[in-house]
Amino acid sequence: MSEFLDSGPFKSAALSAGFTTAGICAVEPPAGLEFYKQWIADGNHAGMEYLPNSVELRSDPRRLLESAHTVIALTLNYRQPAAEAADFRVAQYARGRDYHKVIRSKMNRLIARWEQEFAGAEFRGCIDSAPIFEREYAHLAGLGWFGKNTCLIDSKRGSFFFIALILTSLDIQRDQPALGGCGTCRACIEACPTGAIQFGNGRWFINSNRCVSYLTIEHRGEISPELAAGVGDWSFGCDVCQDVCPFNHPGPRQPDRGQVTTEPDFAAREYPSLVQLATMSREDWDSTFAGSAIRRAGFDGLVRNVKLNLKNRSEAS
Ligand code: B12
Ligand code: SF4
Ligand code: SF4
């Protein structure tokens, strides 16, 4: 008799909780750790100091949950309906309620149910902010492969999804890593407005110093004049390298690519115009962006972005 629990009921529970896909892999030290250390040593993390500070914790998921044997990897589609001509241009992932909150509460419900079912078993949910290689474990769990834009791509559905991981002490039947690849395509590399998708140490990677997503969300202070034009009309985040990816567009045999999210909390909010946002008060900021992932940019960061968008717009006309 197998010592592993059947993965079927775990996956069906996750899909019933609203996740888009679910897969299982073993807890093992990440194969990408050495690449990551070099990526940091080369300065590609830019000002995200939490990344070098978490190298040790990232070296083994058992540092997050000592008893962990298995990773239950989950995805949640955030694809939005075809973009209206938005004045305030926000990456698709951040147009509705903050995904950390939405996914955390879904994970907590699943964990509470499994804790009851498997007395004594331990669980820990990770969504984005935990020091763990989310893309790598989701790949091992069969949920997608690494595109040249570094996003995890599900051949059937594309890449507009979040990844969440639940570590557990249970032994659950494992899936096979996902197979797939970009072939000769280079669309994202050619379309990236700032040349942030680079190659080195045998892999494609993002140089965060140049990435519009980094510059508009994580970077504090001015955006260098060399990169300012590349920010274009992006006010928060950037979707260019995913928008141009063929895996994000439906085809006759891939109807699920480009399918819009069914998560009600991700429905896009209404926002004021760029001109109104450029002169908003801190009170306006608090009320307009309550519960939104856009808060990550901070008041000063968002006003900086919006003013740059207006400058770029006036220079283009
Ligand atoms: C820091 C960070 C960023 C940085 C750096 C991005 C980057 N590509 O490194 C910035 C701010 C630029 C960023 C931007 C975005 N991010 Co981000 N980000 C993260 C975070 C917190 C850490 C990523 C990291 O460690 N980067 C360092 C590099 C070296 O690691 P990595 O990209 O994970 O690569 C690993 C694998 O790809 C692996 N690898 C590559 N090839 C191969 C081959 C083999 C065989 C193996 C074993 C491994 C391997 O090597 C690395 C180590 O394992 C993760 C959450 C998390 N905890 O993982 C989210 C995360 C990667 N981001 C996410 C998202 C949604 C975005 C944006 C789309 C948001 C937006 N629209 O603006 C953009 C996309 C930009 C892009 N093309 O990557 C999602 C990605 C979902 C997906 N489908 O891939 C994540 C997983 C968050 C989440 N929980 O959903 N992000
Ligand atoms: S998110 Fe935008 S700037 Fe960053 S790598 Fe992709 S296309 Fe380039
Ligand atoms: S655009 Fe092309 S090269 Fe880039 S990730 Fe998609 S398939 Fe790969």
Strand ranges for the chain from DSSP E: 21-26, 70-77, 89-90, 123-126, 145-146, 152-153, 161-168, 197-200, 203-206, 234-236
Among 168, 202, 229, give the residue marking a domain's end. 168
Note whether 62 and 108 are same-domain residues: yes
Note whether 58 and 139 are same-domain residues: yes
C-alpha dihedral sign at 101, 102, 103, 109: positive
Q: What is the pLDDT of residue 216?
A: 98
Q: What is the pLDDT of residue 86?
A: 76
Is ligand 2 within 6 A of the CB of residue 240?
A: yes
Cross-strand partners of 148: none
Residue-wise pLDDT for 157-207, tens only, equals: 999 999 999 999 999 999 999 999 999 999 999 999 999 999 999 999 999
- Closest atom, ligand 1, to C-alpha of 159: 83
Note whether 17 and 162 are same-domain residues: yes
Is 54 a member of any domain? yes
Note whether 148 and 296 are same-domain residues: no
Is 1 a member of any domain? no
Q: What is the pLDDT of residue 200?
A: 97
Q: What is the pLDDT of residue 2?
A: 65
Among 123, 141, 168, give the residue marking a domain's end. 168
Q: What is the pLDDT of residue 82?
A: 81
286 is catalytic: no
Note whether 191 and 247 are same-domain residues: yes
Report d(CA 297, CA 36) in Å as an integer. Answer: 25
What parts of the chain have a pLDDT lower than 50?
none
Note whether 137 and 264 are same-domain residues: no
Is 180 a member of any domain? no
Note whether 213 and 262 are same-domain residues: yes
Q: What is the pLDDT of residue 219?
A: 98
Among 168, 201, 227, give the residue marking a domain's end. 168
Is 89 a member of any domain? no
The DSSP result for 133-182, as a single string, is -HHHHHHHTTS-EE-TTS-EEBTTTBS-EEEEEEEESS-BPPPPPP----
Structure tokens at 293: 């992932």
Nearest to 291 by CA among 262, 269, 306, 263: 269
Q: What is the pLDDT of residue 228?
A: 98
Note whether 124 and 41 are same-domain residues: yes
Residues 6+ apart with CB under 8 A from 69: 26, 27, 168, 169, 170, 171
Residue-wise pLDDT for 117-129, tens only, equals: 999 999 999 999 9
Supply the pTM of this predicted model: 0.98
> Which residue shows structure tokens 């997608």?
144
- Closest atom, ligand 2, to C-alpha of 240: 7
In the reported structure, the alpha carbon of residue 188 is separated from the centroid of ligand 3 by a whole-number distance in angstroms of: 6
Number of domains in the chain: 2
Q: What is the pLDDT of residue 66?
A: 98
Note whether 150 and 221 are same-domain residues: no
- Domain enclosing residue 154, as ranges: 8-80+96-168
Note whether 194 and 301 are same-domain residues: yes
Note whether 196 and 249 are same-domain residues: yes
Is 124 a member of any domain? yes
Protein residues with CB under 6 Å of any ligand 3 atom = 147-149, 182, 185-188, 244-247
Note whether 288 and 194 are same-domain residues: yes
CB atoms within 10 A of CB 13: 17
Nearest to 306 by CA among 219, 216, 224: 216
Q: What is the pLDDT of residue 84?
A: 65
